[in-house]
Every structure is written in structure tokens, then in C-alpha cells.
């Protein structure tokens, strides 16, 4: 297999728990520099898929490689320099300020003892500016609104300066306006920096809006993969989300829209 950039390569990687298959063995490749969206109904294995990539859980079959290297062969910090992961539910931050939390993103680079270098400081500053958090740097994260807090976690991932961002429903707690804002931010980062993104997204319209590559999971199986235009078709979506789903085809500047009949 040829290597160009640190792509994810799954070779028969699957996961089961308690005798139940949660993710059937998958063989696929995710290219860095692209935004891959994972869609599918609840319990389809999206989060499990993401956790496998993030090395939060280990596959019980097959292997996962990053840039040709098996995931277990990375050290803790070395892996975090390649892959940043944001879980669906971000934890309480124990009174930490925005500045402090975002700075933790640099742990993978300076470790427990290393001094915080000018490069570390620059990365934190840039992440904070990028996520439009300059006004909040000294505020406790817990005191921010849901949307602001989400931006802080994304800023922390940016400060990590990894090649991959893995996001599990990054906008689940947000209203439509904030969702667009956050996802556009992530998408523009992927384009500008050649970062790879894998995001679990609940909203298929949102996925079609920002992703280059959409993977649809159902019952632990990959049932469809393609670009936004390929996915936005009733015959693809109905098996996943039920018979009421329909698609309004794109028209002029308006993209295709999925709606419930």
C-alpha cells in the first residue's frame, strides 16, 4: 500500500462487547486533509468507530494503522501529537480558565516537565484567537455558555497541533446557528492546514454541507460511502433513517436538503 501522508488505514478492524458485535470488521482508508463525516442512526457504531481511531479502545479484530504504523506502537504523547480527540460529552473543567484548559493541549509537546516554549505559547495564542476566545481567556470554562465552551474544547484540540481531529458530535448541545459556526471553523482548518477530520454528525444536512467524504453506518456495518452529492438521495437515506426521509434536490445556490415527509 503506498503511503502519502499519515492516513488512517483499517484492516479488518472490528469491535464487540459482551458478545455483541458493535462494529463489524472494516477495511477502509481515511485520507488526511479531508473532512470525513460519520452518519447513521443511534447505536450504529459511529462513536465506537471514532474511539477505535482515537485509540481510546482497541479493536478486538484486525488492525488500524496511522501513516503505516500500527496504533499500539505509538507512545502516549507521540500519538497525541498525531491525533486529537474530543469526546461527545466533555467533562467538567474544575474551575480551570480558558487559557489553562487550552494550554493543556500542549501536554503532548512539552510533557510533564518540559518548559513551555515560545512555540507552545504561540500555538495556544493562535488557537484562542482562531476560536474567537480572546475576550474569555481568564474566565472559568464552566462559566461560559454551551457554544463558547464547545469552542474552548476545539481550541484545546487546535493547540495540540495534531494531523488529525476526531470529533464526536461536536455540536450536539448547540443551536443551528452555533452549529454552523463551529463546523465551518473545523472545515476551514482542515482545508488551510491539511488536517484530517473525522466527525460524528447527527445532522445529515450539516454533514453534506461541510464534509468531503460521508460514511454511513448502520448496525455496525458500513452501508454507504461517498461524497455529499451521492449521499443526498432518498434511496440511500431511507434504509438508514426510515421511510419518511426525503430529499429536496439542490437548486441554484441552495444545496440539497434532507427533510421529513
Partner 1 sequence: MKALPASWLVVAAVAAVVALAAANHVMLIDAVSTEAAGNRAFAAIFVARAELPRLAMALVAGAALGLSSALLQRVLRNPLAEPATLGLSAGAQLALVIATVALPAAMAYPVAVAFAGAAATALLVLAATARRRFEPLAVILTGMMASLTATAGAAAVILASGDYMTGLFIWGGGDLTQDGWGPTLRLAAILAVASAGTLLALRPLALLALGDAEAKAAGLATGSLRLVVIALAVWLAAATTAEIGIVGFIGLAAPLMARLTGIRSSTARMAAAPVFGALLLSLADGAVQLAGHLTGLRIPTGAATALIGGPLILALVPRIANLTRPDVLPTPTILSRRSAGPVLAALAIILMGAIATALLAGRGAGGWHFDPANMDWRLARVSLLGAAGALIGMAGTVVQRLTGNPMASPEVLGVGVGAGAGLSVVLITAPFAGLAAQATGMMAGSVATLSVLLAFVRRHGFGAERLLIAGIALGALLSSILTSVITTGSPAGFRLLGWISGSLIEPSASMAMGMAVILAGLTPLVLVYARPLAILPLGETTARALGLATTATRFSLVLIAGAATAASTLAIGPMSFIGLIAPHLARSLGLGRPAAHLIGAMLSGAALTIWADWLARMVAFPYQLPLGLFAALIGGGYLAVRFARGSHA
Q: Contact residues for partner 1 (CB under 8 A)?
A: 54-56, 75-81, 84-87, 90-97, 100, 104-105, 107-108, 111-113, 140, 142-143, 160
Q: Which of 1, 112 has the CB closer to partner 1?
A: 112
Return the number of other C-beta atoms located less than 10 Å from residue 114's C-beta.
Answer: 11
Q: Which of 92, 260 has the CB closer to partner 1?
A: 92
Least Å distance between CB 19 and partner 1? 15
Least Å distance between CB 234 and partner 1? 37
Q: Checking phi first, is residue 110 left (phi over 0); if not, alpha (psi -120 to 50) or beta?
A: alpha
Least Å distance between CB 147 and partner 1? 18
Least Å distance between CB 218 and partner 1? 25
How far apart are the C-alpha atoms of 232 and 257, rounded to whole Å?
8
Closest to 218 measured CA to CA, from 49, 27, 56: 49
Q: Where are the beta strands (DSSP E) in the chain?
A: 8-17, 20-30, 35-39, 61-66, 69-70, 83-86, 164-168, 196-200, 213-218, 221-226, 245-248, 257-260
Query: Tell me, what DSSP letter sits at residue 142?
Result: G
Q: Which of 81, 225 has the CB closer to partner 1?
A: 81
Q: Which of 153, 224 has the CB closer to partner 1?
A: 153
Amino acid at each position: 500500500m503506498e503511503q502519502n501522508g499519515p492516513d488512517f488505514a483499517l484492516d479488518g478492524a472490528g469491535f464487540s462487547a459482551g458478545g455483541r458485535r458493535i462494529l463489524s470488521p472494516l477495511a477502509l482508508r481515511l485520507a488526511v486533509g479531508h473532512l470525513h463525516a460519520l452518519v447513521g442512526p443511534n447505536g450504529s457504531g459511529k462513536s465506537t468507530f471514532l474511539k477505535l481511531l482515537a485509540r481510546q479502545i482497541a479493536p478486538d479484530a484486525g488492525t488500524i494503522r496511522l501513516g503505516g504504523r500500527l496504533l499500539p506502537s505509538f507512545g502516549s504523547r507521540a500519538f497525541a501529537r498525531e491525533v486529537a480527540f474530543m469526546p461527545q460529552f466533555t467533562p467538567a473543567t474544575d474551575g480551570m480558565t480558558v487559557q489553562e484548559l487550552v494550554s493543556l493541549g500542549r501536554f503532548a509537546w512539552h510533557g510533564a516537565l518540559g518548559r513551555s516554549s515560545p512555540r507552545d505559547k504561540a500555538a495556544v495564542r493562535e488557537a484562542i484567537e482562531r476560536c474567537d476566545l480572546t475576550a474569555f481567556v481568564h474566565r472559568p470554562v464552566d462559566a461560559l455558555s454551551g457554544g463558547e465552551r464547545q469552542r474552548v474544547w476545539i481550541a484545546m484540540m487546535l493547540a495540540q497541533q495534531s494531523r488529525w481531529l476526531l470529533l464526536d458530535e461536536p455540536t450536539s448541545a448547540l443551536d443551528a446557528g452555533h452549529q454552523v459556526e463551529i463546523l465551518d471553523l473545523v472545515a476551514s482548518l482542515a482545508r488551510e492546514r491539511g488536517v484530517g477530520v473525522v466527525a460524528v454528525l447527527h445532522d445529515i444536512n450539516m454533514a453534506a454541507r461541510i464534509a468531503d467524504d460521508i460514511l454511513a453506518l448502520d448496525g455496525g456495518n458500513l452501508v454507504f460511502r461517498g461524497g455529499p452529492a451521492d449521499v443526498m438521495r432518498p434511496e440511500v437515506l431511507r434504509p438508514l433513517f426510515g421511510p419518511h426521509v426525503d430529499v429536496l434536490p439542490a437548486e441554484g445556490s441552495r444545496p440539497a436538503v434532507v427533510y421529513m415527509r
